[in-house]
Structure 1
Amino acid sequence: MLAPERQSRILKELQLHEAVRVTDIAATLNVSEMTIRRDIETLDQQGLVRKVHGGAMGLVRLSALEPGFSLNVDRELQAKTSIAREALALIRPGMALALTGGTTTYQLAVHLSAAMETLHNLTVVTNSLKVAELLYRHQGDSQCHVIVTGGERTPSEALVGPITLMALRTLNTDLCFMGAHGLDAQRGLTSPNLLEAETNAAFIESTSRLVVLADSTKFQVRALATIAAVSAVDTIITDDGTSVAMRELFASLVPNFTAAAPATPNALAPTTGKSL
């Protein structure tokens, strides 16, 4: 198991419990206690957990913490790749799409850039600098039009604020693909960034169909600001790591719910976020 996968597992446990013990995590993952201590040290340095004697504790203000793009781009990569592959199947030539900021929507952009030869005449509206640059570099002869909203840059490489809102209020899209920091049955889609929450709400207002891309770590997580209720969502695409209970709960709340099968190693798309 790779370090990002182990660290993601530690963060998952801290979503469920106030603290975790090194011995318990090491036994569960079948690795040495020293390996888990190094993982906790890394997460502590990144500001994601608090290292304590014998283990780690979650942060009290985790709901207001906004990890940067480079920190998240490789986390849960196989899950994000599976989700992106499933989401790509919803896109048809000639559509007007919206892609919000985030690393899961970025993986969709990676897959979309590889499919440009068959998906002609797309218009993509995005507030993600990473998505915009990737699609622009790969558009070739596909006649893909990339519209960047403008605005103030966030740690997740997204553009937010009044300028972004003004742009979105004049646009209409067929599909909006949106990632989320958290997806809670009661509080809906949430973000730790107030301006990003406001911006994503504007994306929802301007689209005919909202598709939420959320890996299994995002369920029943509440960040600081609510973007929209679950009732605003048409489709949720997640990975097969989502528990049966979460699948049943959210499948009962939205018209369409898909748990994407794992991508084979050959199907894993390259993640080029760090080179942009």
Structure 2
Amino acid sequence: MLAPERQARILKELQLHEAVRVADIAALLNVSEMTIRRDIESLDQNGLARKIHGGAMRLARLSSLEPGFLLNVDKELVAKLAIASEALKLVQPGMTLALTGGTTTYQLAVALAAELDRLRNLTVVTNSLKAAELLYHQQGSSDLKVIVTGGERTPSEALVGPVACLALRNLNTDICFMGVHGLDVDRGLTSPNWLEADTNAAFIDATTRVVLLADASKFQVRSLAAIAPISAVDTIITDDGIRPATADLFASRVPNFITAAPNSAASLTTATATATRKSS
């Protein structure tokens, strides 16, 4: 088991328990206690957990606390796969795409990587380190170009801030596939990180069409910093776990509202699992 997989499992245990013991996790994962201590040290240094004597403690979760990539990568995975499958249908060869940071947009990167022989001559502009790494290693002979914005790294493995915004100011994309922490009818798209909010706003300014990828848990959620109003969005793609009343409300505010069924993602499951392991 690789370090990212072990650390993701530790974070899962901390979702269930306020604290965990090194000995218990080592036994659970069948690895040495020294290995788990190193994993906890890494989580502590990255602000994902608090190292304590003999184990780790869960961090307090606040609306302004930004979740890490490892913590969220397998949450609502079936929904994210279905959303990615629907989003893939909007991509045509030769397009210039933008992918913002996040685990749902990462699943779209996985789907794109599996279709590069068909979707040739793509250019992908992204501030997601995980998506950039995956696509770069999977490009083969597809003539794919990957452009990384630069900027300050966040716990969600995104690059944000003035450097990222400056890069985006000089670029133009056909479609921006965007993930968000929260989506509210009145407050629009929001993020717990104000630098990421500014960067996502720059992505919107640089594109022709904004496609929001948001599983059902993101609706009616307000985070710290506003990105843009709902009117900036052309298309919302979500999963069928969304409540009908919520779907109707948001569908009335955007030109296109797509509900993805989980079975539409079945063909992506194996490719996603493989690519996630390779890029971790």
Name the TM-score, length of structure 1 as normaliser: 0.78
Matches within 5 A, 1:182-261: 182-261=182-261
What is the alpha-carbon distance in structure 2 between the residues aligned to residue 43 and residue 111 of structure 1? Answer: 35
What is the alpha-carbon distance in structure 1 between the residues aligned to residue 216 and residue 240 of structure 2? Answer: 8
Aligned length: 229
Match of 1:26 in 2: none
The one of 10, 16, 19 equivalent to 1:41 is: 16
Match of 1:83 in 2: 83
Classify the secondary structure of the residue corresponding to 1:64: coil
What is the alpha-carbon distance in structure 1 between the residues aligned to residue 106 and residue 214 of structure 2? Answer: 12
What is the alpha-carbon distance in structure 2 between the residues aligned to residue 150 and residue 273 of structure 1? Answer: 22
What is the alpha-carbon distance in structure 2 between the residues aligned to residue 211 and residue 41 of structure 1? Answer: 34
Quick check: 1:96–1:125 contact (8 Å CA) kept in 2?
yes
Would the alpha carbon gap of residues 124 and 40 (structure 1) be closer, same or farther in structure 2, given more than 3 Å must change? closer
What is the alpha-carbon distance in structure 1 between the residues aligned to residue 108 and residue 15 of structure 2? Answer: 30
Q: Could you give the per-residue CA deviations for residues 225-260 of structure 1, whole angstroms, max 9, x where no partner exists?
A: 010000000000000001101110000000000010
Q: Could you give the per-residue CA deviations for residues 135-167 of structure 1, whole angstroms, max 9, x where no partner exists?
A: 001111110100000111000000011111110
What is the alpha-carbon distance in structure 1 between the residues aligned to residue 238 and residue 127 of structure 2? Answer: 22
Q: CA deviation at 1:197?
A: 0.3
Q: Could you give the per-residue CA deviations for residues 61-101 of structure 1, whole angstroms, max 9, x where no partner exists?
A: 63201110011000000000000000000000010000000
What is the alpha-carbon distance in structure 1 between the residues aligned to residue 213 and residue 149 of structure 2? Answer: 21
Matches within 5 A, 1:16-165: 41-42=16-17, 62-165=62-165
Quick check: 2:94–2:122 contact (8 Å CA) kept in 1?
yes
The one-letter amino acid paired with 1:80 is: K
The one-letter amino acid paired with 1:77 is: L
Classify the secondary structure of the residue corresponding to 1:226: strand
Q: Could you give the per-residue CA deviations for residues 104-141 of structure 1, whole angstroms, max 9, x where no partner exists?
A: 00000000000000001100000000000000011111
Name the TM-score, length of structure 2 as normaliser: 0.77
Classify the secondary structure of the residue corresponding to 1:200: helix
Q: Could you give the per-residue CA deviations for residues 35-83 of structure 1, whole angstroms, max 9, x where no partner exists?
A: xxx78634777999xxxxxxxxxx9963201110011000000000000
Structure 1 residue ranges, 4+ long, deviating more than 6 angstroms after superposition:
43-48
Classify the secondary structure of the residue corresponding to 2:98: strand
Quick check: 1:130–1:273 contact (8 Å CA) kept in 2?
no
Match of 1:174 in 2: 174
Classify the secondary structure of the residue corresponding to 2:106: helix
Quick check: 1:62–1:223 contact (8 Å CA) kept in 2?
no
Classify the secondary structure of the residue corresponding to 1:121: coil
- Taking only aligned residues, the RMSD between alpha carbons, in angstroms, comes to 2.1
Would the alpha carbon gap of residues 265 and 165 (structure 1) be closer, same or farther in structure 2, given more than 3 Å must change? closer
Structure 1 unaligned spans of 5+: 1-37, 49-58
Match of 1:270 in 2: 272
Would the alpha carbon gap of residues 60 and 219 (structure 1) be closer, same or farther in structure 2, given more than 3 Å must change? farther
Q: Could you give the per-residue CA deviations for residues 188-237 of structure 1, whole angstroms, max 9, x where no partner exists?
A: 00000010000000000000000000000000000000100000000000
The one-letter amino acid paired with 1:171 is: L
Quick check: 1:179–1:214 contact (8 Å CA) kept in 2?
yes
